[in-house]
Structure 1
């Protein structure tokens, strides 16, 4: 029975993918539309939640308003060393969502589900750091299941319960047990519960999924910290900056841009390409000691002498 159910899920996922490629409604959504029209209710398009805007005009225009709040949005880092950037962007988006809901009188918690392998690689969320990044630690819950199957089950139940403002699911790489079928189940639950799921994929490759949007995230150099008088603090580190590439969306062409996250105002700011050339005498933060290169040291390897070839003993 389990094999028949799995085959049926794969068939439904394949039909949905084909329908999207052809620009038609997926079978499940088409059936829901017919049922809604028969009962005289509003259609799916009319009941769509307003998206979460980034607050950056050109980006929100490319995303048709912002991030969907009833679907999966994937933040992907191609390298392990960029996992912090993908996690940081997901936290920034979650902080912006918390602010929007708090302004509306809603104080739902946020759930972060960390895959065991991904947690070992990138670590766990740190409460004081969350506050400095713009999140409310008292409304932040962290779960660390031991197995990926348990993490998937928890993600499905959490999204379906609609008890959280958002669910962040962190997974490493492209595991075999988290493919198109599992992604489709999560997408359907997010759509039914009208709650967002933010998927943070560490060191993963692009793959077919039911995510409505996928952003490739890389870290970018931060500027110096600005001072009230308009100058900058020498040797300091300013707000985090992300280099984003829109990999999957309705936008026909890939879009790459830089965004700065202001954790105090909880807003994104557009950034031009950074100028990595610093003025004379200006040092980067923690640039290290300025030492001259070593030469003619006392412990240089001795030159090799003559080589002798001995006859074989046997």
Structure 2
């Protein structure tokens, strides 16, 4: 399992990175392996980590009142998402280096391909986490503690595929934690709509990461790695419809809990609900296009969830400004 091919491509490009991405074209050669560890050449994960943060701060602002501070929260969450996604992916690559060497799609990653050592990767992970912590310190105390608490979820996730058929749940717990953190960053408190928003995001993660996991199901079966894609098999479409329904219903509940009976007007509620309907339509479109036996199709639809999440973020921001 450790006898992986060395540097499958002269430039060290990772197999599932978009051709001609900025890291492979413009980054200094010495920095490229570290940026690849952080998935800077594959930004979809940063988007999927960031978008629940934007949902949280936008819905909190819509329920209360937006201010310039919320703009900083959005920017800081962007910085934090880039850095912590990078640190988390580096940790994932350290723990999964033997598994990655055995899977066609991942054996070109920096550690199994020999671009960096595990020790070098660990140093890079710590550096990213420390910078992210500096950004986090600009937030209120509750948000800071929530950020620190998220490290436990990040630490556990890479091991989940070893002991449960539902590792996507652990990913959802971690990737949507930003909804709670950003809500708390708005005014230093938490409320029920934030929790419901977090749960909605978890269902959404189960939707998109099950699609993603179908790329590797054959290799995963050979090496004994568990996933919802392997668990659901040919029944995947039915499960995805269920996750979609749960995500949309909980998102609707979060909006209604936050906006009804508060300072928000009827227009704000309608704008937020319109965003949810558009989000549901986008997920429904994905299901009409899905072919779980075509890895390229699965990757394309997985990446399309950036647009689905942006729809919600933009409409909630519109509700906050209404």
What interval of TM-score do these two structures reach, taking the shorter chain for normalisation?
A: under 0.3
Higher share in strand: 1
Structure number with greater CO (CA < 8 Å, separation at least 6) is 2
Higher share in helix: 2
Q: TM-score, normalised by structure 1?
A: 0.27
Q: State which structure, 1 or 2, has the greater radius of gyration over its C-alpha atoms.
A: 1
